[in-house]
A and B are shown apart, each in its own frame.
Chain A
Amino acid sequence: NAGVMQNPRHLVRRRGQEARLRCSPMKGHSHVYWYRQLPEEGLKFMVYLQKENIIDESGMPKERFSAEFPKEGPSILRIQQVVRGDSAAYFCASSRDRGHGQPQHFGDGTRLSIL
């Protein structure tokens, strides 16, 4: 499967714990985007990364959330001290290049549930 791979598919955490979501982009893609989707809502942009660099994190909450895309390995979205409001589907997308007209291809998402 050469598509965008996300894991885990489902993640359950208690309030105050940490959540780590992983994303491996499609082969040949070096641009990764994270989105959050609440029930019955559209996708909200969180952060855009290119290998080892955060390009735009304007959609990510200033506290508790962080993202990285190391030279080796998957991109990680990390949520510290989770709260009930963090419950959502988190989707990762990747593209080959950035710029005009580059469509993004999505992974199957991680459904995060906070107890």
Chain B
Amino acid sequence: QKEVEQNSGPLSVPEGAIASLNCTYSDRGSQSFFWYRQYSGKSPELIMSIYSNGDKEDGRFTAQLNKASQYVSLLIRDSQPSDSATYLCAQMPGGFKTIFGAGTRLFVKA
């Protein structure tokens, strides 16, 4: 079983809609979770971090963490074409090592 699993997509949503990206992880000891955005040919860019159960909002982005279900998600409200990218879910089981999922490709149609 992969340590961090994401649906590869592509996920296609119309402009203005809510995009919902999901991620499951296998290590129950994980304490830190991150969402990175990666445009094609570019480096990953940190957009959200979450450490405790519940929701965390930052602008149009909301991260949700459910440790009991080993599930973390990212909601993007009012999706824009510029949000089209690959979104990488990452966990930090402990210490320093960060484990990434393979990413979900998002397309926002104008």
Contact = CB atoms under 8 A, between A and B. Distances in A.
Interface of A: 31, 33, 35, 40-45, 48, 55-56, 91, 95, 98-109
B96 A101 contact: no
B92 A100 contact: yes
A102 B96 CA distance: 8
B96 A55 contact: yes
B45 interface: yes
Interface string B19-53: 00000000000011010100000111110010100
A101 B92 contact: yes
B95 interface: yes
B95 A43 contact: no
Contact of A101 (B31, B43, B100): B31
Main SS at interface, chain B = loop
A53 to B, nearest CB: 12
B82 interface: no
A103 B100 CA distance: 13
9 contacts: A42-B100, A56-B96, A95-B96, A99-B95, A100-B32, A100-B92, A100-B94, A101-B32, A106-B43
A98 B102 contact: no
Nearest to B34: A103
Nearest to B89: A42
Given A31-B96, A43-B88, A101-B49, A107 B102 contact: no
A107 B43 contact: yes
B97 A103 contact: no
A104 B90 CA distance: 11
A42 B100 CA distance: 6
- Kindly name the residue among A43, A55, A104 whose own CB sees the greatest number of chain B CB atoms within 10 A: A43
B10 to A, nearest CB: 12
Listed from nearest, the 10 A-B pairs whose CB atoms lie closest are: A42-B102, A98-B96, A106-B43, A43-B100, A42-B100, A101-B32, A108-B43, A106-B44, A103-B46, A109-B43
